[in-house]
Amino acid sequence: MGSKITIEFLIDFEEGDELTISVLNSGVLSTLGIWDWVVARVGAFEVTTGTPTGIVGERTAINFNAAFNLDILTGFTTTVTDNILEIESTTVGEDFSGFKALRFSGVRYVNGVDYNVTFENVVPVIDISNIDFALTRSPHYINTPFLFETTTSATYNLYIWSGDLTAVPLTPTYTLTKTRPAVNYQEFNTDISKLVSEQLDGKPIVNIALTTQITDSTNDEIKWLNYVVSYTDPVETIPNIESELIASEGFGYFLEGVNPTKPTNDILTNCDYRKVSRDGFVMLPFANVGNITSIDIATETLEINATETITSANNSNKAVQYLQIDVSQAITDEFLTVTFQQDSDVITYEIIDECRYETKQILFKNKFGFYEGITFFKKSTNMIDITSDEFVNAYISGGTYSTTDHQKQNINIQGTESLTLNSGYVKETENELYKEMMLSDRIYLYESTGLVPLSLKSKSLEFKNRVNDKLVKYTVEFQYAYNLIQNI
């Protein structure tokens, strides 16, 4: 089934009247035809006026259908029922983009009064498998082209929600109208990311009650987004622009171009080989949009050996899920492989026994807006920073003062703690993890008591490689993201 336009004629057109239909094919606007009503057709793109029937508009529908089929020989099918004409395109990717009707006097006919026109352009069935991601720490633009000189403005209705994909709210979350500044203004490119980011503030949930398990993302990590753009045009009747997106608080790099999105393999990490402590865990996000059917998890002698079956669902907190693995269940094995089916993409974890230092597990929000971890294996140090104001008291009583009282006294004392971590030697492939951690807006230290919020104190990191540096290791300084003295 192709795109379709349905025209219900509520009047019979008269001699001298004019009707224009426009189409959009692969982004190129063209006029399908401009038809003129005449007493009797003698040339192309002319419509015989004829004698009205007992149904208002029926003669116009019948005669316009006849003229259309004479003038447009291929690419369309037509059906007339009383005063209603349906025109359907048989060309894939071709949409109807405009309809205009003018009286012989030049005054326009009015949609809803003189005719009703409905556009039914082909839109993919709403299904999680064909919805793209919007990474809202970078701009996500809605391109709104002005196809006609008579268009004066565009109105954007944004619907943001959690839960079932099909449960679109009745009332838009945001409505924005933008006025076209001039006739020669060709398009709007409207960034919607900041509006969506206001509703995204997810935290990681670590769950390693089982050796392997699939856990859902939270409603604060991901949102459905639907937008509908409608035009204001006194002459043309123009179809709306509409789309659905999955929004997360990720970002793209400059060289990736406009509107960055998820990777094509749906595995939401950029590192396919990393180290993990034997007493640690794996937290690996992936997009559950129908392409990944199962995940195989195994160590070399099968101390860990499991398959997790993945079932997609049209619910926001299942659109992205986490694979979580308790690595401590591998007693002596040294490698853990995670294989995503159907495409057999592999992520490898090298299991490390650190005998001297207490390892530290850092969780951070990556460039796709979901959490993954870095393990720091070597020396860690804690430091406290104190801030205060000094008050000088020139006190005296009865002509004297006490030598045991403080003349200088610290007030407004507050402290923050910092944590310096050392990675130990890591694979060069882990550089991307450190890069994304440095750019992350949410970082946590995972301890047995739970999550501890951190912020980066280090403002730069020199990336190392084996050619220049032989061995790769990093030192990163964090600050606990709260005041030591509770003052909330």
Q: What is the pLDDT of residues 245-296, one digit of tens each?
A: 999 999 999 999 999 999 999 999 999 999 999 999 999 999 999 899 999 9
Contact of 340 with 268, CB cutoff 8 Å: no
227 DSSP β-pair partners: 158, 243
Contacts of 331 (CB under 8 A, 6+ apart): 303
The burial class, CB within 10 Å (0-12 / 13-18 / 19+), for 345 is middle
Mean pLDDT of 48-77: 96
Q: In 51-114, where do the E strands start and end?
A: 76-81, 84-89, 94-102
- Give pairs for 388-395: CB < 8 Å, separation 24+: 388/412, 388/413, 388/414
Question: What's the angle, vertex CA 23, arms to CA 17 and CA 24, rounded to 5?
Answer: 155
Question: Would you give the distance in Å from CA 414 to the centre of its chain?
Answer: 40
pLDDT at 125 over 70: no
Mean pLDDT of 75-88: 96
Residue indicated by tokens 């008579």: 150
133-147 average pLDDT score: 95
Task: Select from 22, 13, 151, 36 the least CA-distant residue to 87.
Answer: 22
Q: How many CB atoms within 10 Å of residue 353?
A: 11
Task: Say which residue, 372 or 448, is predicted with more confidence.
Answer: 372
CA angle 255, 250, 366 (to 5 degrees): 95
Give residues with Cβ within 8 angstroms of 448, minimum separation 6: none
Give dist(CA 340, CA 347) in Å, integer: 8
| Residue 468 reports pLDDT greater than 80 | no
Which residue type occupies 249? E
Region 426-453: mean pLDDT is 92
| 84-89/294-299 β-pairing | unpaired
Evaluate the CA torsion angle 331, 332, 333, 336 in order and state its sign: positive
**Could you report how far apart the first and last alpha carbons of the chain are, in Å?**
61
Question: What is the rounded distance in angstroms from the CA atom of residue 169 to the CA atom of residue 319?
Answer: 19
Q: Is residue 428 very low, low, confident or very high in pLDDT (cuts 50, 70, 90)? A: confident
Cα gap 113→99, rounded to integer Å: 15
Average pLDDT, the chain: 92
CA distance 311 to 293: 7
Statement: residue 127 has pLDDT above 80: no
**CA–CA separation, 124 and 88 (whole Å):** 17
pLDDT in tens, 304-361: 999 999 998 889 999 999 999 999 999 999 999 999 998 899 999 999 999 899 999 9
- Cβ(36)–Cβ(16) below 8 Å: yes
What values do phi and psi take at 61, rounded to 5?
-65, -45
**CA–CA separation, 460 vs 472, rounded Å?**
16
DSSP-assigned states of every residue in 445-456: EEETTEEEEEEE
Burial group, residue 199, by CB count within 10 angstroms (0-12, 13-18, 19+): middle
Locate tokens 């190392």: which residue? 464
Q: Is 90 helix (H, G, I), strand (E, B) or coil?
A: coil
Cα-based angle 209, 269, 283 (whole degrees, multiple of 5): 10
pLDDT for position 469: 61
Question: 3-state class of 91 per DSSP?
Answer: coil
Q: What are the φ and ψ backbone dihedral angles of 272, each rounded to 5 degrees?
A: -100, 5
Beta carbons within 8 Å of 231's beta carbon, 6+ residues apart: 151, 153, 154, 155, 238, 240
User: By three-state DSSP, how is residue 282 classified?
Assistant: strand
Total-model pTM: 0.84
